[in-house]
Chain A
Amino acid sequence: EAGVTQFPSHSVIEKGQTVTLRCDPISGHDNLYWYRRVMGKEIKFLLHFVKESKQDESGMPNNRFLAERTGGTYSTLKVQPAELEDSGVYFCASSQESRGYYGYTFGSGTRLTVV
């Protein structure tokens, strides 16, 4: 089965610009997660979708971040306007059920650099 796909793999943008990250989960996985790792820090949860609904968005840093999941399939994470502190690796993960009994499958991540 195809894994979790993220693109772009790398993005370099200037402060103040907008960037949109995309994640395609494993087909049939209702649960989709976004995580972020800022350099030197731990991987932190951003939000959790169940199908097209936001189940938990407690980790979203601020209102410059907007996540959507169209029709319960792929998801996008938009950062507008980007700030320097938004630089990091953004991971997407999907799972069959939310607690992780079958594990969570991660994508390869998008490395975002804001200059």
Chain B
Amino acid sequence: AQSVTQLGSHVSVSEGALVLLRCNYSSSVPPYLFWYVQYPNQGLQLLLKYTSAATLVKGINGFEAEFKKSETSFHLTKPSAHMSDAAEYFCAVSVGGGATNKLIFGTGTLLAVQP
């Protein structure tokens, strides 16, 4: 069965430091992968997605993720953290086939940015 594992439910970085949020997936077919962000008291916002094109995907707010098939990973990075990046981040994989698809989410990673 397809699944997503996010390592680290809480990650804390200093402002200006590298952000690395880890995501590993399992999928029996080439996956579509997503990173969503939820800011406090807001809904889920799409950061970026991988849909079998370029393996390095650039998203909004300076985030990017690299699809590595050999490692079954899709880690999210940002070179320099900003205070406004504090939020909860979710990795997800689209599973199913034909007309039936749904997202399987990881448990989320809460990112704290220290001044």
Contacts and interface: CB of A to CB of B under 8 A. Distances in A.
Interface residues of B, number: 24
Interface string B75-94: 00000000000000010101
A45 B43 CA distance: 16
Contacts, number: 69
Contact of B34 (A33, A56, A104): A104
Contacts of B42: 108
Contacts of A101: 32, 51
Contacts of A100: 32, 34, 49, 51, 94, 101, 103
Interface of B: 32, 34, 36, 42-46, 49, 51, 90, 92, 94, 96, 99-108
Interface of A: 4, 6, 33, 35, 41-45, 48, 50, 55-56, 59, 91, 93, 98-101, 103-109
